[in-house]
Amino acid sequence: MAMALTACSPSETAVGNLNVIPQPQEVILDAQNQPFVINARTRVVYPEGNEKLQRTAEFLADYIRQATGTTVQTATEAAGSNVILLSVDPAITNPEGYQLVVNGDQVQLKGGSEVGVFYGIQTIYKALPMTKGTEVAAALPAGTVNDYPRFGYRGFMVDVGRHYFPVDYLKQIIDMLALHNINYFHWHLTEDQGWRIEIKKYPKLTEIGSKRPRSLVKWEPREYDSIPHSGFYTQEEAKEIVQYAADRFITVIPEIDLPGHMMGALASYPELGCTGGPYEMPCEWGVFPDVLCGGNDQTLQFAKDVLNEIMDIFPSPYIHIGGDECPKVCWEKCPKCQAKIRQLGLKSTREHSKENQLQTYFMGEIGKLISERGRQMMGWDEMLEGGLAPGATVMSWTSVKGGIRTAQLHHNAIMTPIQFLYFSNPHYNKIKGTLSVERVYNFEPMPKELTPEEQQYIIGAQGCIWTEWTRDSLKMEWQILPRMAALSEIQWTKPENKNFDGFLQRLPSLLKVYRDKGYDYRSDIHGATIQVLRDEEKAKVVLHTLEGAEMRYTLDGSEPTAQSTLYTDTIRLDKDAVIQAVAIRPEGLSEVSREEIKLSDGKQKK
């Protein structure tokens, strides 16, 4: 955040920046007017009787205290100056849209609904300079923000099946989503390695299915810890999460992944599988051949019973039922599955095997229940393999192709491709610094291959965290942040208003918020990012860093200092080198970035 300092008695005043993350659609600065200075007499005013805006006003007062250290009061009436006025304006046609007008006397924040006002206070929070603990007053610059989201669906998924995370930490994740204008929390509740939600009709799901004796910690060679892992959420705890999210205008989408990824259920109730078991709780990761029996009416009733209880807990319009990674090897041999295939008259075609069509039948029967209860079925893009059930919304994870195909079939699709939006992908997590964020930022969820009519079915984008290798908050946040900031700009900001260089200029102020909240974001974002561009037996090396910080480097493998060579332009190499670089800021040197460049064998090593 660029901060202007102006003389102010008895202290200085730091003026923040209305160009926040995600970038608003329109920011008009008013250089002719004075900034709005926060002080102890400032009031946040909301309409009497509006409980949602009262809660939003209280959130804003808390945000102001977190950023500035100043305690402001909320009220339903206040004088015309030194106030932040919250209101709903029907003239703002997008219910998630808002208008923020700032001058020296007051701040007016109007939303198309209470939701829009909530996103407006996120902008105020992120626009404020971080002055807590100083003698400097905080101010908002004079100007106008007109803003609304590009997509109505802006999601983030957390897998608690592989590793359980407690309720209090999930609340912190929900606060993180709110900070980034994300409005759907996709809660992946069941997995082969752990069933995490209480189902009263089937108590063994948590008595047995929520526990495993150990966990895989290394692929090659296979290595396990000796620590039992367990944990599940009671229905009351789940309702607590739903309400906590709803207070922040976030919808919780539950996922019960079926008919694959069901070893937790099979270990608890072996009669639900094709072989009858016995089944053991898996202690390693991957895709397992044992799945729910698609030809067993008892299994279908189990799925319906579970989802009825889920829908009693979660008011979400979407109910996610997975559908991914369901091997058919057991179904091909199972007498019940083959009998059901014959009963339904299913025949293999060039596009769809009869077993894939059986899964479509199974999912369709569950979809009927979901529809009867006024909800919409959601699943992963493997649902396309047997033909889509009516009304299904598809999350396209294997690539964007599933989303394209879904939209062409006139079904809603959400883009969440593993190549760009899986933040726990070990391969892509090796990419460091600004390049890691740029990979996310430059993803465009709207395929050009679609016609304008078909593009209407791309309703949003979502980031995902899978927790096979993520067992604590440190690893969770290291993977998520600051890439969630890039994700939020994909989801919220129109492409014509996006600019990666501008994003990097705006990111440091958001990183200050992360630090204040204690988030363990990737520290290499502060370092010098090394990008190597090869040209036969030569190479060009480009260094990048946040906000154009000074960078120093060496080529002989020695550790760079403030006296090393200053980076000014592309470095050209015609022989092997070990480049190490640091970014230099007033607070000191960043961690060292290193790249070994081998031109002789055409390889680079980190």
Six-digit token pair at 250?
Answer: 């976030």
Q: How much is the mean pLDDT over the chain?
A: 95
CB 86 within 8 A of CB 48: no
Q: How far apart are CA 373 and CA 368, in angstroms?
A: 9
Compute the half-sphere exposure of residue 504: CA atoms within 13 Å on the CB side of its CA.
20
CB 126 within 8 A of CB 140: no
Structurally, at CATH architecture level, domain 527-605 sits in Sandwich (2.60)
Greater pLDDT, 454 or 78? 454
Give per-residue pLDDT as tens, 208-248.
999 999 999 999 999 999 999 999 999 999 999 999 999 99
Res 194 pLDDT > 90: yes
Percent of the chain with pLDDT over 70: 97
Q: Residue 52: which of 246, 231, 294 has the closest Cα?
A: 246
Give per-residue pLDDT as tens, 128-176.
999 999 999 999 999 999 999 999 999 999 999 999 999 999 999 999 9
Residue 602: per-residue pLDDT: 53
Res 604 pLDDT > 80: no
Q: Residue 566: which of 550, 587, 547 has the closest Cα?
A: 550
Cβ-based burial of 280 (10 A; exposed 0-12, middle 13-18, buried ≥19): exposed
Q: How far apart are CA 408 and CA 29, in angstroms?
A: 42
CB 96 within 8 A of CB 103: no
pTM score, whole prediction: 0.95
CB 201 within 8 A of CB 303: no
Please determine, looking at this structure, whether the domain spanning 4-147 carries the CATH number 3.90.180.10.
Answer: no
Six-digit token pair at 486?
Answer: 């890039």
Residue 582: per-residue pLDDT: 97
Give per-residue pLDDT as tens, 574-599.
999 999 999 999 989 999 999 999 88
Res 286 pLDDT > 60: yes
Six-digit token pair at 12?
Answer: 């200085």
Give per-residue pLDDT as tens, 21-37.
999 999 999 999 999 99
Res 72 pLDDT > 70: yes
Q: How confident is the model at residue 534 (pLDDT cuts 50, 70, 90)?
A: confident
Res 605 pLDDT > 70: no
Q: How confident is the model at residue 389 (pLDDT cuts 50, 70, 90)?
A: confident
CB 256 within 8 A of CB 264: no
Q: How confident is the model at residue 6 (pLDDT cuts 50, 70, 90)?
A: very low
Domain segments of the chain as ranges: 4-147, 153-523, 527-605
Task: Please provide the DSSP assignment of 478-542 as one string.
Answer: HHHTTHHHHHHHHHHS-GGG--HHHHHHHHHHHHHHHHHHT----GGGGSPEEEEEEETTEEEEE
CB 492 within 8 A of CB 555: no
Fold for the domain defined by 153-523: TIM Barrel (3.20.20)
For the segment 473-500, the average pLDDT, to the nearest whole number, is 97
